[in-house]
Amino acid sequence: MKVLLLVFTMVVAMAQDEFKSREDAAAAAATTLIQELGSALKTNMAAGGPEAAITVCRDIAPTIANDLSLKTGWKVTRVGTRVRNTMMGMPDEWEQIGLEYFSEEIDAGTALEDLSYTEVVTEGKQQYFRYMKPIVTQPLCLSCHGPSDVMSPAIQAMLDQHYPHDQATDYTVGELRGAVSIKQPLD
C-alpha cells in the first residue's frame, strides 16, 4: 500500500513539474508575441500613422506567430473576442471558453498578469497542452479597433475593402481584445 502511494505521488509530482515548465515556456512565447507586436505597432504608427501600421497587425503578427511556431513546434496563434479576419482569428470551442473566463476575470478586477488559461486536452487520440494569455485593448489599438468616430476615414475604407465581415471594432481601452493561443502536441 505504501509503495503504491509513493509511486502515485511521484508520478503526480513529475506531471506537475512538466505542467509548470510547459506553462512557463508557453507564457514566455506568448509574451514575446505580444511585446514584439506592440513595439512594431508603436514604431510604424510613429513613422506613418495607422495607415502604415496596418501591415503590423495584418502581416507582421502572423509572421511573428509563425516564426514562434517553427521555433517551438507548437501552434502559436492570435484569436479575437470579435474577429476581423475570420480565416485566422476565430476561436475554437476551447478558446471560446478561455476568452469568456478572461472577460469575467477582467470585469471582476483580476490583474492581467495573473491571467492565463491552461489545460491538457484530448482530441481524437492525440493529447495537447493548451495555453492562452489575454490580449487587452490599449489606446493605440483604437485607431483600428475602436469606435467609428475614432477611426480615420482612410482606415475605415481600407478595413471595408479587405475585411467586409469585420467585427473587430467598437473596443474600449482595457477591454479584452482576444488572446494568444498556444497548442503543444504531447508524445
> Cβ of residue 127: shortest distance to ligand HEC, in angstroms?
27
> Cβ of residue 31: shortest distance to ligand HEC, in angstroms?
14
49 contacts: CB under 8 Å, gap ≥ 6: 143, 152
> Cβ of residue 66: shortest distance to ligand HEC, in angstroms?
12
Part in contact with ligand HEC (CB under 6 A); list of ranges 9-17, 113-121, 123-131, 143-151: 143-151
Decide: 5 and 52 in contact? Cβ < 8 Å.
Answer: no
Q: What is the CA radius of gyration of the chain?
A: 19
Is 53 a binder of ligand HEC (CB under 6 A)?
yes
Closer to ligand HEC by CB, 72 or 156: give it.
156
Decide: 77 and 179 in contact? Cβ < 8 Å.
Answer: no
Main-chain dihedrals φ then ψ at residue 128, nearest 5 degrees: -130, 145
> Which of 68, 145, 176, 183 is close enough to bind ligand HEC by CB under 6 A?
145
> Which of 91, 98, 146, 178 is close enough to bind ligand HEC by CB under 6 A?
178
Element housing 182 (H / E): strand 176-185
Part in contact with ligand HEC (CB under 6 A); list of ranges 12-20, 80-88, 96-104, 115-123: 80-88
Main-chain dihedrals φ then ψ at residue 78, nearest 5 degrees: -115, 140
Is 143 a binder of ligand HEC (CB under 6 A)?
yes
> Which of 25, 60, 88, 106 is close enough to bind ligand HEC by CB under 6 A?
88
Please tell me the distance from the alpha carbon of residue 29 to that of residue 50, in angstroms, as a whole number.
26
CA dihedral 53, 57, 62, 65 (to 10 degrees): 100
Interface residues with ligand HEC (CB under 6 A)? Answer: 38, 41, 50, 53-54, 57-58, 78, 80, 83-85, 88-89, 135, 137-138, 140-141, 143-145, 168, 177-178
